[in-house]
Structure 1
Amino acid sequence: MPKQIVFLHPDLGIGGAERLIVDSAVALESCGYDVSIITNHHDPKHCFEETLQSNLSVTVVADWFPRSIFGYMTALCAYIRLILATLYLLFYEEKPDVTFVDQISAPIILLRAFGYKLYRIPIDYIEQISTGMADIVLVNSKFTSNVFRETFTSLNHVQLRILYPIANEKSLCLPTSAQFHTDHQSKYEYRKYLSSEIIPEKAKIIFVSINRYERKKNLSLALYSLGKFLIFPYSLFFLSRLLILIIAN
């Protein structure tokens, strides 16, 4: 997966500083990175062609804020404009892996001191207070219970109960060959249809990862774990047999 790189720039016009930003962005993009530029001003009639023709994402933020006040406080207005662009990055964009801040250093204060946790402060506080008011707090695993204790340190007095989620077996789809049999057939007899049609009969090892199929579930961990599993001394024994990797859902 390519890294997310964002450039914060006050005015993406035509100049030496802008040339450097555009060249850097284009070079990174050509290397496979996902590059975007957030700027306070970008005039399609007064800019470098690469910002119009390449796959660079250029977002203009806070161009409505004045550049000066009656010809004064130009520097202050430039600071405010880029800070507004930084707030847009923090609240409305995905967290980038790398952020380049050009010319005005004020945004670094927000990026470094608060980052993407600023908006979580009031939310976490309200969530902690309201959760503590519940008569019973349920979690779906011991792991979630540990995360709860680490996150809500002021709620150590709250007793947690684990309620393991279960699947509705009526919603499970059986192979066609199994659907024609009577309902009174035992659940164990259905397994032979599942093992023969879904999982090859010769499979001796079944490595299963049950997660939602999305990025944050880190499905690559299943492949990493399987790779570690196969380097054990007895891996040759397993490699001589059919191995099935199932990433469910």
Structure 2
Amino acid sequence: IKCNVYPTDASETRTVAFVHPDLGIGGAERLVVDAAVGLQTLGHKIVVYTSHHDPTHCFEETRNGLLKIKVFGDFFPRSIMGRFHILFATMRGVYLALAIVLTQQRYDVLFVDQLSSPIPILRLCGSRIIFYCHFPDLALSGRRDGLKRVYRVLFDAVEEWTTLMAHDILVNSHFTAGVFKSTFRNARGVSPQVLHPCINTAAYDTAPLVEQETELSRTVRGHVTLVSINRFERKKNIALALHAFGLLKDKMAQLHQGGGKGGCAGPAFGDVRLVIAGGYDGRVR
């Protein structure tokens, strides 16, 4: 990644702070934890700032003392009666940024993840700022009728403005890079770099556990299995997997009826399984 952040001398120690809105259990949190642990292993000094961290609902590295975690702004509600999520998320982000600027040390690099609202204030630190964009919130907000349309105009503008204030922008896939460019109209000339989330390979260094008979193993044994792993939350659009599965049924039926060239000798739809799995956060409405 060419973001002019890393020292010429790879042995030089840098101070790096990660800024993440909610340090729970999810793909974004896993990325932050793995990146923080990786840099710390290389000898850099790491701190993770967040607006919420529940020791009973988080990754082990954030509660066993391996990473230094600092929380500011957890007193803000997530919403009021299930509404105004983006308003309170922005308020929490701004408060977190103010706390970092006014009470914390200066860092060489600030890695801002998921929520861009802290960036303008964090620019006051004089640090190099990297923003990691998982997916523009502007493209996830759903239907915009009546007052919500007016309400979202402001926050969409804020999201675009604050995102483009980062020195370097990273995205998690080429697909997200395309959505970024089509969503943020003022981002002409800005080409986010793709940095795929890493994995901790240590989990594969040990021998696998002896396979046990489970409901899942009985379900998928001998079948073609499609897997959708997501948090159970509306914006994850799990219905898309069901819709695609339905299209697959029709397509396979056509192939087996000879709709394709010479028909199809592959598995029938009855041999295909769709497994939908993921966690659920009771705070999400």
TM-score by length of 2: 0.39
Higher helix residue share: 1
TM-score by length of 1: 0.44
